[in-house]
Amino acid sequence: MKKIAFLINSLGKGGAEHVAVNLAEHFCAQGYEVLFVTSRILPEEYELSFANKRRILEDEIAHAPFGRIGRIPARITGLKKIWREEKPDVILSFIGKLNLYVMVSVGGSEIPVFLSVRSDPAREYPGVFLKWLAGKLFARARGVFFQTDMAMQFFDDSVRGHSEVLPNLLDESFLKPRYEGERDHEIVMVGRLDANKNHAMVFRAFAALHQDFPEYRLVIYGTGYADGSDTKPALLKLAEELGIRSSVIFKGMQTEIRNKIERARIFVLASGYEGMPNALLEAMASGLCVISTDCPCGGPATVIRDHENGILIPVGDERALEKALREVMADPSLAERLGMAASGIADTLCPGKVCAKWQHAIESRL
């Protein structure tokens, strides 16, 4: 039995974590022994329904020197210890700095490592030095997986030569038939409450339309982090200032999100940057009319054909968002047509098909 190690910051309910858990479940079903190595444990995490082992990196380095500089070599040493004790046959790493740490930690060993870049690499590895370092380390990986061609183009041929664009997968709950009944007058947003999601721009565009479409509500799913990046307090204040507080509803973190959003009319993603946003894919699969920024590194533009199965707008363009919202709010038949076309994405992103692509991409390189 081969052992595959998944390295990720946590199993918190985010897009990368969702992909990692589903892939782990697939590999377990294929006869692999699964090891999770996470930086930490969060209060709200995905539940694992299969046999696995978990190691917590922060526990391994509990006595490391304080400060960012001291903890970097400690993390690498902690990973070396885990690989030495667990002896995985293959490692699949997700997200940012962990992709750098893992490549240093396996130096000199024969463990094949696969890296998954889940966001805009220009932001994950900013500046000349980090881009150079990432390029040098990624060149030594057995394979590097991206969500878009634009993200892959960040690197040169030494990385692109063993890279591949692999799709995200949908949860099984998003594969059921599209809701065809009367829709609620709701505009929904799903995602973490932070500045990148640009809820504030959506609030302002919604406020500009509120007098003409008073029946609509703006419904926000998701929470912020307790590290100072949570934008909810500022958004509550903005809603009051704009006179829309009674029409803006914060739902917080929710389970079974398909059941919560499937009756809505419109989904909005206003991010400044994304990889391949799961929330957008899920809204499309649910058959909602979607409006999204054409943000780097190209995820929304990969799946949306403008005014065929959704609407793309420039990043940060409040006027374009207001125009797009007015267009579909004033013409329910257009919103219905776009939502119907969007739902076809579910056929290509079912877990079985996507996981099989990931498995082939890994095993063909071993």
Ramachandran region, residue 30 (left: φ > 0; alpha: ψ -120 to 50; beta: rest):
alpha
Tokens 């992709």: give the residue. Answer: 99
Clarify whether residues 241 and 298 are in a common domain: yes
Q: What are phi and psi of 312, to 5 degrees?
A: -105, 140
pLDDT digits (tens, 9 = 90+) for 63-104: 766 566 678 899 999 999 999 999 999 999 998 899 999 999
Clarify whether residues 55 and 149 are in a common domain: yes
pLDDT at 68: 63
* CATH code at position 315: 3.40.50.2000
Clarify whether residues 99 and 188 are in a common domain: no
pLDDT, average across residues 333-353: 94
Clarify whether residues 263 and 118 are in a common domain: no
The answer to whether residue 237 scores a pLDDT higher than 80 is: yes
Clarify whether residues 131 and 176 are in a common domain: no
Clarify whether residues 100 and 179 are in a common domain: no
Clarify whether residues 250 and 117 are in a common domain: no
pLDDT at 216: 98
pLDDT, average across residues 170-190: 93
Clarify whether residues 165 and 91 are in a common domain: yes
Domain range for 187 is 172-347
pLDDT, average across residues 138-158: 96
Determine contact, residues 89/363, Cβ cutoff 8 Å: no
- Confidence bin at 220 (pLDDT 50/70/90): very high
pLDDT digits (tens, 9 = 90+) for 267-315: 999 999 998 999 999 999 999 999 999 999 999 999 999 999 999 999 9
Clarify whether residues 87 and 158 are in a common domain: yes
Determine contact, residues 126/37, Cβ cutoff 8 Å: no
Determine contact, residues 238/307, Cβ cutoff 8 Å: no
CA atoms of 343 and 318, how far apart (whole Å)? 26
Clarify whether residues 245 and 271 are in a common domain: yes
pLDDT, average across residues 182-211: 96
Cis bond upstream, residue 289 (ω within 30): no
Q: Return the CA Rg of the chain.
A: 21
CA atoms of 266 and 338, how far apart (whole Å)? 10
3-state secondary structure the chain: CCEEEEEECCCECCHHHHHHHHHHHHHHHCCCEEEEEECCCCCCECCCCCCCEEEEHHHHCCCCCCCHHHHHHHHHHHHHHHHHHHCCCEEEEECHHHHHHHHHHCCCCCCCEEEECCCCHHHHCCHHHHHHHHHHHHCCCCEEEECCHHHHCCCCHHHHCCEEECCCCCCHHHHCCCCCCCCCCEEEEECCCCHHHCHHHHHHHHHHHHCCCCCCEEEEECCCCCCCCCCHHHHHHHHHHHCCHHHEEEEECCCCHHHHHCCCCEEEECCCCCCCCHHHHHHHHCCCEEEEECCCCCHHHHHCCECCCEEEECCCCHHHHHHHHHHHHHCHHHHHHHHHHHHHHHHCCCHHHHHHHHHHHHHCCC
Clarify whether residues 46 and 164 are in a common domain: yes
- Confidence bin at 2 (pLDDT 50/70/90): very high
The answer to whether residue 227 scores a pLDDT higher than 70 is: no
Clarify whether residues 176 and 153 are in a common domain: no
Spell out the residues 6+ positions from residue 352 whose beta carbon is closer than 8 angstroms to its own.
none
pLDDT at 24: 96
Count up the domains in the chain and report the number: 2
pLDDT at 13: 79
